[in-house]
Amino acid sequence: MTFKVLIENTDEVFGCSEGQHILSAMAKMGKKGIPSGCHGGGCGVCKVKINQGAFSSKKMSRAHVSADEEKAGYALACRIFPETDITLHVIGKLQKRF
């Protein structure tokens, strides 16, 4: 089963297979709408807000997504596994270097 993921900021659409996290699906398609970092829920650069769709998630760093934010639909794209088509908004960014 493959679900459609829409990134609102860039209007990019890509497919995400069951059991695959959104960031991995995006990166494998060569798309760059969501900043790609550690892919382990630790660094926080891939923070998104899920506006539509159902998903399961794995543990993500509380340094980047608080419990309240998680309830409100904020998440790290590398910890999100779609169960329906998803519409999301990108929040995270690669911070200013120096």
Which of helix, strand or coil describes residue 14? strand
- Contact predicate 91/48, CB 8 Å: yes
6/23 with CB nearer another protein:
23
Alpha helices by DSSP H, 1-98: 22-28, 67-71
> Which of residues 71 and 97 has its CB atom nearest to another protein in the complex?
97
The Cα angle at residue 90 between residues 10 and 38, in degrees rounded to 5 = 115
Q: How far is Cα 55 from Cα 86, in angstroms, rounded to an integer?
A: 8
Binding site for another protein (CB under 8 A): 36-43, 45, 58-64, 94-98
CB of 18 to another protein, least distance (A): 16
CB of residue 57 to another protein, shortest distance in Å: 12
Nearer to another protein, 18 or 51 (CB): 18
Smallest separation, CB 87 to another protein (Å): 25
